[in-house]
Structure 1
């Protein structure tokens, strides 16, 4: 895995993206924002060159590397959410009404993938539009927590955690859209990854919740 450290580099220098964009007429604010978020799959060499010159760093300072890739997969095993109206304006999400299997895959190009398996379910009852809180319990004796703590840097942890939440959000959106599409052909469930809260054995971003 490889990522850029632009967000940290700007924070260290107390630089705002808007200020950097104003200083670099050949780079748009959107380009700098997208680069800093690590959401793009490709960065132009001209962009890297310009940012390195602006920050007075080398490309080795700009990038961070892990000698393996981490990805995840989500399979919905239960979706017992319900709607109180025919036009699906209110969707009730009861406690444990959504359950799924969650797989973390660690791999390199020349080794067999290592799979870490978890089971997830929502903790609280709420209506669509509020945050969804999930607790994920591991299903085997393998310890991804050791990998997380000792082999993944804080910068990569933030990227990987957001990838986990995005995958869960995308999978839930697909499941909910299919479930309620019979109520309305135009219905599309859209929960954003920043509305997902996760608690796992190695890390969580859930606060003031009594498990």
Structure 2
């Protein structure tokens, strides 16, 4: 089940800065920054308690919950030799699965895409630019995405997109050394 905190939203609504909250509560700026970016895997109960007391909110207001889990598997495929012969660009297949788990169902949606090796980023380095993209395989999968994921808040969608990007970058980094990897689409772009 996905849980995220609403700390960044609360800060914005109240026009509070992390520095001020850190000074007022004694909680480190590093901890507060990680909380505001929802990038922490674990938060101490004492920290949540202090923030809820400081902000005069309940834990239900501090956290949001959706009864769904989403994760991804991403795999790098072979060089597309036909594409290379036609364009002289190095293109590789990229595939994977979007795993959606609810209380009642476990869904596995296939993803397809590719990686294009654009070439070196600059003449001063030997770092190559890799553009990558993944999308749902067919219309039925898009309908499932629209049913389970599209109704979620923008914040939860951003979390899911970030999970996909990080999973894809990990898979690509295992296959290609010394590269700058960009992800050129959003899983929620259904066109």
Normalised by the length of structure 2, the TM-score is 0.79
- Give yes or no for contact 1:95–1:122 (8 Å, CA) kept in 2: no
- Aligned residue for 1:32, secondary structure, equals helix
In structure 1, the residue matched to 2:132 is: 134
Which residue does the alignment assign to 1:9? 10
Is the CA contact 1:104–1:115 (under 8 Å) kept in the aligned structure 2?
yes
Give deviations 1:21-70, integer Å, cap 9, x for gaps. Answer: 12222x10111111122222211010101111121111000000111101
Point out the structure with the larger helix share. 2
Structure with the higher fraction of residues in strand conformation: 2
- Map 1:170-181 to 2 at 5 A: 170-177=170-177
Please list every run of 5 or more consecutive structure 1 residues that lacks an aligned counterpart in the other structure.
81-93, 178-188, 205-210
**Could you tell me how far apart the structure 2 residues matched to 1:10 and 1:4 are?**
12
Shift of 1:9: 1.1
The 5-angstrom pairing of residues 1-211 of structure 1 reads 1-25=2-26, 27-79=27-79, 95=89, 97-108=91-102, 111-122=104-115, 125-127=118-120, 132-140=130-138, 141-143=140-142, 144-150=145-151, 152-177=152-177, 189=178, 191=180, 195-200=182-187, 202-203=188-189
**Which runs of no fewer than 5 residues in structure 2 stay unpaired?**
81-87, 122-126
Distance 1:44 1:18, change over 3 A: same
User: Cα RMSD (Å) of the superposition?
Assistant: 2.6
Shift of 1:190: 5.9
